[in-house]
Structure 1
Amino acid sequence: MAIVFAPNVIAQKKQLIETNKTVSIRSLSVVDNKIAWLSSSNGYTAITKDGGLTWKWQQVKGFEKADFRDIEAFSDKEAIIMSSGSPALILKTIDGGLNWEVKYRNDDKAYFFDAMDFSNPKHGLVLGDPINEKFMLIETNDGGDSWHQFKNLPNAEKGEAAFAASGTCLRISYKGDYVSIVTGGNVARHLVLEKPFTDWAYYDLPITHGKPSNGAFSVGENGMVIVGGDYSKDKFRDSVHATFSGHPLPYKDSKPGPNGYQSCVELIAPQTYLSTGTPGSNYSTDNGYTWQQIDATSFNVCRKAKNGKLVLLAGDKGKIGIFKF
């Protein structure tokens, strides 16, 4: 079924796809206009080869209780999944999901993975919650076959953490020249590491914080737009996003902002962002300075194709949407 929303300068519509699944989906990786992958709770992955219209689901054998909160896909054959919770896991397939091989496992309950991102098919990072006042970062340089600790770990303040909400609290630029992390809890911050990767920069964000349920949840690919809020009060609209505005105040909370808590933001066209969360989705055509609500349908994640224009959304109860603009 297709749903057409409120008037806008750009026509929009969202097609909802029935999956008959009850899982929670928090991760998408859209390869091109046809191929995309997702991973979810209860150990499931799924792949589409027709732009999201139909999906082939598979439960990863031996990991039926795993909560796969992030996925990175490179083709219809190769993908990497990351679990949140204990044990901390990274698995890889090279045969379209028929078989998965464990590439990293840590049974220490202090390890909790939040997000994963790759700058190219060989180089990637996985972010985890702080251990000993340092955010955990592990790195691969061989396409996820092996992992090691990143050489420069960012500092964490007391009560600070990242959110495993959509796999987008961590971003690496496609050129590989910077790493971007957003955080929440007692503080809301943007952590940035640029070449030559020697010193992290730390920016306070004008996003609601002070509790474990609130802060910054997602940063756009170029680090310009950040969203978040309080997932326990998801209709609360104040201080749920930040937009880069230059010096001396790098980020500001513009009005009108998104309509409530947002767990994901994605750059989908020049100056154009889509964000989503449990209160619904929002749209900006001016680099995040003003926003318009699209609808009130709950989703957790929205992602655009790495090579193409396909934009997909996904959420709880196996919900999947195709966003057209």
Structure 2
Amino acid sequence: MAAGSRAGGVGWAVKATGTDARFRGLAAVNRSTAWVSGSKGTVLRTADGGRSWQNVSPPGAQGLELRDIEAFDARRAVALSIGEGEDSRIFRTEDAGATWTESFRNPDPRAFYDCLTFFDARHGLAMSDPVDGRFRILSTRDGGRSWNVLPNDGMPTALAGEAGFAASGQCLVSSGPRDVWLATGGGAVARVMHSGDRGLTWTVTDAPVPGGDPAKGVFGLAFRGGRGLAVGGDYRTGQPSPQAAATTADTGRTWRPSSAPPAAYRSGVAWLPFLPPAALTVGPTGTDITLDGGRTWWPLGDEGSFDTVDCTDTACWAAGEKGRVGRLEVR
């Protein structure tokens, strides 16, 4: 059966953004409003479904990589820049990007922050690659105005070479008021960590996706309650990525490889809002869709390259290289 017919004739309608920035950060608010963040310190915002975009980049951020952004609505958003030491920063806006406040600048040269997530408009976390052998977790209780490093007593020891991938803003994701998951790669095996108490204590499980190499691991996670999806593989161009997707039905205690995974590396994944067992995954070579909770994936036509995808109750958006942003449309 053709992918288009299986997917009900849906695909990406690419929206002109007027920039060549690469967008790995994406926050979908609804069909009209979305935020994207990426290279050269760029943040764009649309409030008309992508017909026009405002450049609302934080002043002075031109040299930063803004790899993740989380938005609470059309006016409030929090963006994370990645990198060693002071390159890892967090910015916050309450006026649709007209002004920004830098609420965190990493003082530790050993830390490298990759992703952030919010449970609600007040409580959120950011994660750094391991420091002193354990992933570091940063916490906010006031919507990103202030941040504190959590104790690492409840964090499992990292594997040699293990880290997170700042590829899609989805190496740290949350679902519900307290559950959060952290995706890893670069170590002997790819792993997924889970916390049920907002990052204080964690359990860890091996994920059946490619590992054992600095370029391999889990790059993106998506959860809906206890049901989760993991995607990844080998991000190097032209390298094979067999078994680059997995599923869980028990909050990540156990993972199963997809029986028909995407044919290549994927960096972003999101559950579709209007069809409970359906989800999308994206990467440099295209988009795939599942209609059975991630067990089998099918190419969604010739949709081009995207790095990340995010869905709300009413819409799905994707973003990637050369300023590409798309909204899912019925064709």
* Cα separation, partners in 2 of 1:44 and 1:245, compared to 1, 3 Å: closer
Residue of structure 2 aligned with 1:320, choices 303, 322, 325: 325
Q: Is the 8 A contact 1:245 1:252 kept in 2?
A: no
Q: Aligned with 2:295: secondary structure? A: coil
Q: How many matched pairs?
A: 319
- Tell me by how many angstroms 1:290 deviates: 0.5
| Deviation beyond 6 Å, 4+ runs, structure 1 | none
Q: Is the 8 A contact 1:170 1:181 kept in 2?
A: yes
Unaligned runs of 5+ in 1: none
Measured against aligned partners, the alpha-carbon deviations of 1:200-257 in whole angstroms (never above 9, x if no partner) come to 221111110111111001111235210000000455241211112669x922222311
* Cα separation, partners in 2 of 1:208 and 1:301, compared to 1, 3 Å: same
Residue of structure 1 in register with 2:155 after alignment: 154
Question: What does 1:1-325 align with in structure 2 at a 5 Å threshold?
Answer: 6-86=4-84, 87=86, 88-152=88-152, 154-155=155-156, 156-173=158-175, 175-186=176-187, 187-195=189-197, 199-222=201-224, 224-233=228-237, 236-244=240-248, 250-269=254-273, 270-296=276-302, 297-305=304-312, 308-325=313-330
Q: Aligned with 1:6: secondary structure? A: helix
Measured against aligned partners, the alpha-carbon deviations of 1:57-111 in whole angstroms (never above 9, x if no partner) come to 1332211111100111112221111001142100111121121111001243322
Q: Aligned with 1:258: secondary structure? A: coil
Q: Aligned with 1:172: secondary structure? A: strand
- Residues in 2 aligned to 1:197 and 1:6: alpha-carbon distance in whole angstroms: 40
- Residues in 2 aligned to 1:237 and 1:12: alpha-carbon distance in whole angstroms: 26
Computed over aligned residues only, the root mean square deviation of the Cα atoms, in angstroms, reads 2.2
- Residues in 1 aligned to 2:118 and 2:218: alpha-carbon distance in whole angstroms: 21
Q: If the length of structure 1 is used for normalisation, what is the TM-score?
A: 0.92
Q: Aligned with 1:295: secondary structure? A: coil
Q: Is the 8 A contact 1:235 1:279 kept in 2?
A: no
* Cα separation, partners in 2 of 1:195 and 1:81, compared to 1, 3 Å: closer
- Residues in 1 aligned to 2:186 and 2:301: alpha-carbon distance in whole angstroms: 28
Q: Give % identity.
A: 32
Q: Is the 8 A contact 1:163 1:217 kept in 2?
A: yes
Q: Is the 8 A contact 1:261 1:277 kept in 2?
A: yes
Q: Is the 8 A contact 2:164 2:219 kept in 1?
A: yes
- Residues in 2 aligned to 1:279 and 1:120: alpha-carbon distance in whole angstroms: 33
Q: If the length of structure 2 is used for normalisation, what is the TM-score?
A: 0.90
Q: Is the 8 A contact 1:117 1:170 kept in 2?
A: yes
Q: Is the 8 A contact 2:7 2:300 kept in 1?
A: no
- Residues in 1 aligned to 2:197 and 2:89: alpha-carbon distance in whole angstroms: 29
- Residues in 2 aligned to 1:74 and 1:197: alpha-carbon distance in whole angstroms: 21
- Residues in 2 aligned to 1:83 and 1:198: alpha-carbon distance in whole angstroms: 23
Q: Is the 8 A contact 1:234 1:279 kept in 2?
A: no
Q: Aligned with 1:96: secondary structure? A: coil
- Residues in 2 aligned to 1:245 and 1:95: alpha-carbon distance in whole angstroms: 39
